[in-house]
Structure 1
């Protein structure tokens, strides 16, 4: 991104290590690296702040990134009408933070990117549901491999934004999840699956809206152009959102 283009502010939600006391806030550094390398300025927001504070921040940023990572808790199944399984790990404060941020981001029309848990909470916040526990099968979605390693295939829908960014309909991706999207939210469409049919990518049903969720971890694969371009396009879309907002403000003034 050139120096004369607005550097967008992108809200990034931080998780925390659970269980344990005191808990420790965490955010994988590669999210910060790829956003700054793409020309953005990350603004970290944390669980425990109230909804009014979330709205205040979201009205001053240009995009929202919902990350995932090792040890990330599961979205509470109550949000899609189910009881949690005994092994489900929940952080109600993180759910509240991310659902409030998603609600405001979607209302404002800003770009949203969800990664792993971020893809799941995005789907849940918009009215979808999850598979709480993936059963063992032909594809291991929790293979115990380093995130730099490719674990399985990603098959993308023709004409999807992700296929266009990737320049291909078949990619190899990493994997670190035991849950996945079951019922897509009404505002989202499935555009990518693993070879066993598990949902790996969703996009907005509205072609003019930049909303993408991916179940894998592209921030760990940015040495491959197909994955790096996802973040570059996200940041460029956030910059355009900021420019459009500034133009609207200038006109109304």
Structure 2
């Protein structure tokens, strides 16, 4: 893929959570896996990390950037899509921030890439619902330990060319999630599925808005033969951000 030379700014959402640091236990931090920022940079974008924002502040961000990357993280609060659910470690501020970014990007036809939680919050923000806790199946087994979770893979099927062209063969992805899409928002179309029927990816139903979301974590698929998968996804997303910039400038 020929990568445009001029950089574009990409808003990358972050995860607010308490972590132990040299300042003491439970230090209030915004965090992001380094793989997200590195992937955006490698694709020719400039990552701009976003904290919890007001609705007005999200508009300022969207006036500045050319794309939005919704990163993974904690569970989406069932209350954000009108459902009852068990009490959990939810972050209503993050839910509201990302929902505002998705809706604002959709109005502007700005490219959005959602990863794991990012796909889930986008679906909720656009009127869909989620499965708050997936049942254990052969495709999504119960695993224990960080190494086992990182290494777990399951097969997916897809009818989307943008996924067929970049997934490993056979099409296997990781399983670092326990929530997933239930009722899909009208603006989105499911395009990939696990063997147990769980929706693994979705895209925009309209060609004038670039939205792509995957339930797995491509940025964490670093085994031989897998790395190119994330490279292609992020390069395509940043290229869409360049097209968005060119389109908005020509319309100004």
Mark the CA change 1:167 to 1:131 in structure 2 (over 3 Å): closer, same or farther.
Answer: closer
TM-score of the two chains, using structure 1 as the length reference: 0.87
Corresponding residue for residue 228 of structure 2: 225
Native 8 Å contact 1:142 1:175 kept in 2:
no
Between Structure 1 and Structure 2, which shows a larger proportion of strand residues?
2
Query: 1:23 offset after TM fit, Å?
Result: 1.9
Gaps of 5+ in 2: 20-24
Q: Kindly state the Cα deviation for residue 167 of structure 1 after the two structures are TM-superposed.
A: 6.6
What is residue 65 of structure 1 aligned with on the other side? Answer: 69
CA displacement at 1:164 relative to structure 2: 4.8
Deviation, structure 1 residue 22: 3.7
Q: What secondary structure does 1:102 align onto?
A: helix
8 Å Cα contact 1:142/1:178 also seen in 2: no
Given the alignment of the two structures, is residue 26 of structure 1 paired with residue 31 of structure 2, yes or no? yes
Name the CA shift for 1:188/1:97 in 2 (closer, same or farther; >3 Å): same
Matched, 1:153 2:138: no
Paired residue for 1:53? 57
| Deviation per residue, 1:14-66 (Å, 9 max, x gap) | 1122598442110000001111001000111101x321111101111100000
Q: Do structure 1's residue 237 and structure 2's residue 224 form an aligned pair? A: no
Alpha-carbon distance, 1:225 to partner:
2.2
Normalising by structure 2, what TM-score? 0.88
Is residue 155–residue 169 contact of structure 1 (8 Å, CA) maintained in 2? no
Count of residues paired in the alignment: 242
Question: C-alpha root-mean-square deviation of aligned residues, in Å?
Answer: 2.3
Any runs of at least 4 consecutive aligned residues in structure 1 with deviations exceeding 6 A, and if so which?
A: 1-4
Q: Is the 8 A contact 1:141 1:178 kept in 2?
A: no
Structure 1: runs of 5+ lacking an equivalent: none
Taking the aligned partners of 1:6 and 1:147, their CA distance within structure 2 comes to 38
Please give the alpha-carbon distance, in whole angstroms, between the structure 2 residues aligned to 1:170 and 1:59: 41
